[in-house]
Amino acid sequence: MVSCVLISRLSVYSMSNTARGFAPRSLLRLVLIAFTLVLLPLILLVIQNARSLERVTSLAQEGIKNAVVDTRRATDMNDLALEMERYIRRYVVLENPELRASYLRLLERYQVELERLLLGIEGGSLGASLQHQLVGLQNLGQLEIEEIREHADLFDDFNSATFKLSELTRSQIDERIELVRDHVTLIRQQLWMLSGALGGASLLLALLFTYLIIRPVRQLEQRILSLGAGIEPPAKPIRGPAELVALGGKLQWLHLRLRELEAQKLQFLRHLSHELKTPLASLREGADLLLEQVTGPLTAEQEEICELLVHNSFRLQDLIEQLLDYNRIQQVKVHKELVAITPLIEQSLTAHKLTIESKGLQVRMVLDDATVLADSHRLKLVLDNLISNAVNYADAQGELQITATATTEYYALAVANTGDPIPMAERERIFEPFVQGSQVRTGVLKGSGIGLSIAREAAISMGGDLLLHSEENALVCFELRLPNLTNQGITHE
């Protein structure tokens, strides 16, 4: 039981240290302390079990030894009583002095055995009666033959008392054996309780040190996931072994370094876009003047070259605007408001009207006129990119489908087109910046590979997502999902 108190105090001390921010300086030291404290209750349990087993063994051996000795002594006393009676009766008949001497020797032995037996058992009145009878039998051995013959009936009571003493001895031996059995049962119960307490202490310590080791590992895992998701990691320092604390510091340094690189990237994109727009405006203005033949008539070859200049200037402008949109998505905060989605779709379709007509596309729209809670600028970016992709990658004489439905969970807007399905290996990569799929774009302008990346980031920033549904023998479909107004506590008026 002392071991249980010791282990419980150790457990309370360890948990109190943990509550006060206890953190070993080394992971190796923490592991060694953990193994030592977890094994300590088990070692104490083995020692306590060995001591209890030794005590039970000693108690059983002593009980068995005493039981055998007392039983044998009681049996010998019965035999001595019979021998004493036989010798005294033969002495009366044969009058041989040796027989009386043997009787007296047996009487003396009986008296010694009785005294030893009464030390091991509680004789009570029966023991006192036998000792009193022994005095009479001692006196009997000193009488004359005739007197001995007259008092020989003393042996009847003496033999009866000796037999009763033997029965009493066996009864008390049975009681002692029962007490030993009860004591062994009690020790066994104590061992079970001790085993449970020490086993529970070991389990508690194991859980405690597992928590001490796992907690900083979980914190490191969360910081790594935050780095991967581009989320600001917690500023609270990691508490734990020195190795894990140092690793947490390196992750914090890595986060700062990545943030610095991200800021440099955005600054580069902003400066690049601004610097390109000024010469592009002059280039477009000059190309337009040449194409309009302001400086004089052009030959057919010259007109073709001017048209090529104009088309590529449009492409360059589109790329610059996408870079600006990408930069804006990264920096500008989301401003949500109620937006009617139908006018935005119509504006995007009008911007691509010439391409739709030149490819002979059939446009089918099934729209839910409900408004959505979104950032109007980001929502327009998503729609422009989805419709632009659908128009440019659709088959000639194909179909363009735009559907918008509201469910209890979200508002879904799908833009689908006929054409080759996107390969399985490219379905996630096409959402990465500057990654283009293997499909051939059939529009006038070639893409930069950041349109879908801008669209998905804009959707996620508004609390939604952008998904791809592309299967064999089916339309290529991109679906924009935004939170439903009812899920945000807003109802339509």
What are the pLDDT digits (tens) for 267-283?
A: 776 676 666 767 777 77
pTM of the predicted model over 0.85:
no
What is the pLDDT confidence band of residue 55, given thresholds at 50, 70 and 90? Answer: confident
- Taking the CA atoms of residue 420, residue 425, residue 431 and residue 436 in that order, the dihedral angle to the nearest 10 degrees is -60
pLDDT at 222 (0 to 100): 80
Does 182 or 18 have the greater pLDDT score? 182
Yes or no: say if 26 and 143 are a contact pair by the CB < 8 Å rule: no
Domain ranges of the chain: 2-212, 241-331, 334-488
65-123 pLDDT tens trace: 888 888 888 888 888 888 888 888 888 888 888 888 888 888 888 888 888 888 888 87
Does 331 or 317 have the greater pLDDT score? 317
Pairwise CA distance, residues 237 & 223, whole Å: 11
pLDDT at 7 (0 to 100): 43
What is the pLDDT confidence band of residue 5, given thresholds at 50, 70 and 90? Answer: very low
What's the rounded mean pLDDT across residues 405-413? 81
Tell the residue number behind the tokens 């990465």, with chain if given.
432
pLDDT at 269 (0 to 100): 66
185-229 pLDDT tens trace: 888 888 788 888 877 888 888 888 788 778 888 878 887 887 776
Pairwise CA distance, residues 205 & 43, whole Å: 14
What is the pLDDT confidence band of residue 21, given thresholds at 50, 70 and 90? Answer: very low
Average pLDDT value for the chain: 76
pLDDT at 493 (0 to 100): 43
pLDDT at 488 (0 to 100): 53
138-168 pLDDT tens trace: 888 788 878 877 777 788 888 888 888 888 8
Pairwise CA distance, residues 89 & 138, whole Å: 15
pLDDT at 449 (0 to 100): 57
pLDDT at 491 (0 to 100): 46
Number of helical H runs and strand E runs in the chain: 12, 7
Pairwise CA distance, residues 1 & 175, whole Å: 29
Homologous superfamily (CATH) of 334-488 is Histidine kinase-like ATPase, C-terminal domain (3.30.565.10)
pLDDT at 387 exceeding the cut of 60: yes
pLDDT at 452 exceeding the cut of 60: yes
pLDDT at 490 exceeding the cut of 70: no
Does 483 or 19 have the greater pLDDT score? 483
pLDDT at 2 (0 to 100): 41
Overall size of the chain counted in residues = 493
Q: Which of 2-6, 37-41, 55-59, 61-65 has the lowest mean pLDDT?
A: 2-6
What is the pLDDT confidence band of residue 298, given thresholds at 50, 70 and 90? Answer: confident
What is the pLDDT confidence band of residue 474, given thresholds at 50, 70 and 90? Answer: low
Which CATH number applies to 241-331: 2.30.30, 1.10.287, 1.10.1200, 3.30.70? 1.10.287
Pairwise CA distance, residues 69 & 66, whole Å: 5
Instruction: Count Cα neighbours of 299 within 13 Å in the Cβ-side half-sphere.
Output: 2
pLDDT at 17 exceeding the cut of 50: no
pLDDT at 1 (0 to 100): 45
pLDDT at 313 (0 to 100): 74
Percentage, residues of the chain above pLDDT 70: 81
Pairwise CA distance, residues 238 & 80, whole Å: 88
pLDDT at 50 (0 to 100): 82
Nearest to 459 by CA among 351, 359, 385, 365: 385
Yes or no: say if 287 and 310 are a contact pair by the CB < 8 Å rule: yes
Pairwise CA distance, residues 446 & 441, whole Å: 7
Burial-class residue 260 by CB neighbours within 10 Å (0-12, 13-18, 19+): exposed
Specify the DSSP class assigned to residue 121.
S
Strand order in the sheet with 476-483: 362-366, 399-406, 410-417, 476-483, 465-470
424-433 pLDDT tens trace: 767 777 777 6
Pairwise CA distance, residues 226 & 229, whole Å: 5
pLDDT at 328 (0 to 100): 60
What's the rounded mean pLDDT across residues 437-452? 54
pLDDT at 3 exceeding the cut of 60: no
Residues sharing a CB contact under 8 Å with residue 474, sequence separation 6 or more, in sequence order: 421
Rank 167-176, 316-325, 368-377 by mean pLDDT and report only the highest: 167-176
pLDDT at 6 (0 to 100): 43
What is the pLDDT confidence band of residue 487, given thresholds at 50, 70 and 90? Answer: low
